[in-house]
Structure 1
Amino acid sequence: MTETSPDPTVPAAPVIDKDNWQDADNVRWSFQHVDQVLPTTPISRGTGPVAQLPVDLQDLGSVEVPKTEFSAARSVRSVIEDSDTDAWMVMHNGTVVTEEYFSTMRPDTEHLLMSVSKSLVGTVAGVLVGAGDLDPNRLITDYVPELASSGYAGATVRHILDMRSGIKFSENYLDPKSEVRQIEESIGWSESTPESRPKGMYEFLTTLEAKSEHGGVYEYRSCETDVLGWVCEKIAGESMQTLMSRVLWSRIGAERDALIATDQYGVGMFDGGINTTLRDLARFGYLHANRGVSLTGEQVAPTSWIGDTLTGDVDTRQAFADGPDDNRMPGGMYRNQFWFPFPDSHAFLALGIHGQMIYMNPGANFVGVKLSSWGLPQDAAKLFPTIRAFDALAKAVSAPVVD
């Protein structure tokens, strides 16, 4: 494990509030101190033993990353250093082969995951499906009748798992009037305007309208995960914090409680509010690279759910290709709150804005995790070289040793 000295240019405790915590100059500090900016509640690790992480550190910085449309071929070290990395880790066959922290980030620092949170919520849904409590083909309103008068009427749970509802929801983070910004104002993630009074997560979701038929093309919408979280809470009769602890976080051998940012009523920000340490996020990633079995040896996510995530439906990739978003993952798909960037590959991702990532490759028994503080919410010139870097590392550590 490598830790660099604190960067003297990074202020120890800048003046940060709901107006500026997501500004480019502040994200490095705020992503590591969310509990000082927003209300949070713990997701308990439970009382079980910590799953130990064997360590066999290797110098992987010189591994070559193939060229992308954004850069020539270069080293892994170059990619990591040029993409505002706070910490990163590589696991192979359950052993840590790289672990590195930068600036003020430390092994016990809980870092905001942004939309990587979606993959944790999707996994909770998968556990409920495996238990027979959740049917992806049933209507959302069967579980959450409060949405009967919203645009979600007629949509199924499968539609929101794969981001294929017909809901009107702009994900343009730079547009102050977009729905993704409205939801932040509604739950208190940013200062509200008279037009977007704080109303809480649940009330905001009831105001969303449909723009097209459900079950059509893929379109990324953070609200889908928030509805999914509400469905899970209704089924379980408990908060996501309690539910996630019970069915997921307490079963992976986590070292620390996770945190989730909440609205003013204590409802979690399911689509982007979870905070974890680097090591615990790697433990979560390992679960998915190992057919749902955690480092504790427990079958946490059903094998059938992992298989469904890896294969999708007959039209999942086509729905992804036909979506309105700028598709830089040709041949890929979005399934069960995970991204598949390559055709004919089971390597898949959990992604969050500002550079949060888990790369999972079951065929190589490989997990790569990267926590970052990009200045921009979305930055393809940093995202795709990082994906290619982890892909190159998966091949490098899995290659046979030649005597």
Structure 2
Amino acid sequence: MNQLPVLPSASSSKFGMVPNLQHNGIPQGMDLENWQQDPYLHWTFSHVADFLPTAKISRGDGPVAEVPENLTDFTELAFDSPEYGGPTTVRQVMDDSYTDGWAVMVDGELRTEQYFGSANPETSHILMSVSKSLVGMVVGALVTQGKLDLSKTIESYIPELEGCGYEGATVRHILDMRSGIKFSEEYLDPQAEVRLLEQVIGWAPRRDHSLPKTMYGFLASLKKDGEHGGPFRYRSIETDALGWLCETVSGKKMPELMSELLWSRIGAEHDATIGIDKEGTGMFDGGVNASLLDMVRFGSLFLEHGKSLTGEQVVSAGWIADTFAGGSTSRKAFKQSPDDNRMPGGMYRNQCWFPYEGNEVMLCLGIHGQMIYINRRANMVAAKLSSWPLPQNARMLFPTIQAFDAIAEAVGDSDSIPELPLDFAPLDQYTTSMPVVPVAPAAAPVPQVPVTAVTNQGTVVGVDPTSGATTVDWGQGPTTYGGVSQ
């Protein structure tokens, strides 16, 4: 495969500072205390399985979704960035933001694929919280199959969570990070719950021996500091609760389930992996590792009504519509967040970010600069793997979004814009389940579960079991969204 050449850059020169590898292949001086710190990040983020326990998420034995090349050099594309105080270029942003690799796909064609330092197309890089969006898609697949009801409380599925802070929170609350659970995301505070969780799963030295010994024990120990269903507040632990939920309703460990429902269906080229604790429970909120182009393949689901590049319907078109529409209070809850998300008019839905008003642009985000960028109007998926020295850095995050916005503007509106309208009404809640669509080849037709999915503004009245097209009655006649035949 041809890629654009690796450019001389500030970031690639920094990679040369990584200490020499020891005889066991681990950088000299690197340990559990500092593996997420500079200067080790470029190496550790691409070698997690070499020093931490992981489990395989198999790609299966199906065909790889080939992405035809039509390479374009966007690096000199200029745009204005408030963080830069004026004009900058895509090249400058990629250089300054410790990029390990980035790629752009437009209308199903690979327009850019570029790597820095030792990264290459085979590199399995930690996705950090982009993992959340993958877990959200697995939840969507289970909802599509009728195995999950978003209106039910989490303890109705997981009795072990009765009596803890999560009791009374619905699956929808957790999916949109609107539970009232007490969980601090202050990465620079060693006593924040997000850092204590790393001790529990073995990603950091265990200094507090009073902490639970497992991920699930930690979840059950959490208290509540607000009402469930309130404002949006970013809490990584919500995704870990969703992972436990997926395992409970499916009866399968998450690596197997993610392979079955997601990774084996998107035409992935490489197996993914996920970090696990001592009992084999995954670090669902940030432990998935995958290659750059497989991130692009995953992102394409959002442009194709839940259909993969290989033609498999992974989730229903209704689930994708729900993600882009949000609920009737999603943007209000986002605005009321006590955190400064710097995304006015945005929202968070189904483990995905919307940085602007409207629903043309969607993001999957992870600390240290991991990103999948979706632009519906340009029919574009972009992905970026990075090794920022600090977990969070607005001066690197927002210029990256702006760079991808500039590329989307440069390629223009697509002639292949997905037919799912950009102004569809929200599908707030499903009283029983999403309509069933086939998720695996079957000798006999997949039966359709009777549909009683009621939204706040309309009723899902039908779904085509072959195409996945979802029909909603808004009171003045039905409207059909999506479907694999479109």
Which TM-score band (shorter chain)? over 0.9
2:86 and 2:142 map into 1 onto residues whose CA distance is 44
Residue number in structure 2 paired with 1:120: 134
**1:206 is the counterpart of 2:220:** yes
Match of 2:155 among 141, 145, 159: 141
Count of aligned pairs? 401
Residue number in structure 2 paired with 1:2: 4
Residue number in structure 2 paired with 1:384: 398
Contact conserved, 1:3 with 1:102, CA < 8 A, in 2?
A: no
Cα distance, 1:345 vs structure 2 = 3.2
**1:306 is the counterpart of 2:308:** no
Match of 1:398 among 412, 420, 423: 412
The structure-2 alpha-carbon separation of the partners of 1:103 and 1:137, relative to structure 1 and needing over 3 Å to count, comes to same
Residue number in structure 2 paired with 1:355: 369
Give secondary structure in 2 for the equivalent of 1:293. coil
Residue number in structure 2 paired with 1:53: 67
Residue number in structure 1 paired with 2:98: 84
**1:132 is the counterpart of 2:132:** no
Give secondary structure in 2 for the equivalent of 1:251. coil
The structure-2 alpha-carbon separation of the partners of 1:29 and 1:192, relative to structure 1 and needing over 3 Å to count, comes to same
Contact conserved, 1:289 with 1:365, CA < 8 A, in 2?
A: yes
Cα distance, 1:36 vs structure 2 = 1.4
Q: In structure 2, what residue type is equivalent to 1:244?
A: M
Cα distance, 1:194 vs structure 2 = 3.3
**1:372 is the counterpart of 2:386:** yes
Contact conserved, 1:186 with 1:196, CA < 8 A, in 2?
A: no
The structure-2 alpha-carbon separation of the partners of 1:12 and 1:290, relative to structure 1 and needing over 3 Å to count, comes to farther
Between the aligned residues of both structures, percent identity stands at 55
Q: In structure 2, what residue type is equivalent to 1:374?
A: W
Give secondary structure in 2 for the equivalent of 1:307. helix
Cα distance, 1:65 vs structure 2 = 2.3
Contact conserved, 1:65 with 1:385, CA < 8 A, in 2?
A: no
1:108 and 1:43 map into 2 onto residues whose CA distance is 15
Give secondary structure in 2 for the equivalent of 1:304. helix
Which structure shows the bigger proportion of residues in helix conformation? 1
Q: In structure 2, what residue type is equivalent to 1:220?
A: Y
The structure-2 alpha-carbon separation of the partners of 1:196 and 1:95, relative to structure 1 and needing over 3 Å to count, comes to farther
Higher relative contact order (CA 8 A, sep 6+): 1
Residue number in structure 2 paired with 1:33: 47
Cα distance, 1:110 vs structure 2 = 0.1
The structure-2 alpha-carbon separation of the partners of 1:168 and 1:198, relative to structure 1 and needing over 3 Å to count, comes to closer
Residue number in structure 2 paired with 1:225: 239
**1:43 is the counterpart of 2:57:** yes
2:336 and 2:128 map into 1 onto residues whose CA distance is 26
1:295-315 superposed Cα distances (whole Å, 9 cap, x missing partner): 101211210000000011111
**1:164 is the counterpart of 2:178:** yes
Cα RMSD between the aligned structures? 1.5
**1:246 is the counterpart of 2:260:** yes
Cα distance, 1:340 vs structure 2 = 0.1
Cα distance, 1:8 vs structure 2 = 4.0
Match of 1:280 among 294, 311, 327: 294
**Structure 2: runs of 5+ lacking an equivalent:** 22-26, 416-486
Contact conserved, 2:4 with 2:73, CA < 8 A, in 1?
A: no
Structure whose alpha-carbon radius of gyration is higher: 2
Scaled by the length of structure 2, what TM-score is found? Answer: 0.80
2:383 and 2:285 map into 1 onto residues whose CA distance is 19
1:150 and 1:357 map into 2 onto residues whose CA distance is 33
1:326 and 1:37 map into 2 onto residues whose CA distance is 35
1:278-311 superposed Cα distances (whole Å, 9 cap, x missing partner): 0111100111122211110121121000000001
1:261-288 superposed Cα distances (whole Å, 9 cap, x missing partner): 0001110000000000001111001111
Cα distance, 1:198 vs structure 2 = 5.9
Give secondary structure in 1 for the equivalent of 2:179. coil
**Structure 1: runs of 5+ lacking an equivalent:** none
Q: In structure 2, what residue type is equivalent to 1:42?
A: K
Comparing 17-26 with 255-264, greater Cα deviation is found at 17-26
Residue number in structure 1 paired with 2:201: 187
Residue number in structure 1 paired with 2:82: 68
Comparing 174-183 with 23-32, greater Cα deviation is found at 23-32
Comparing 114-123 with 361-370, greater Cα deviation is found at 361-370
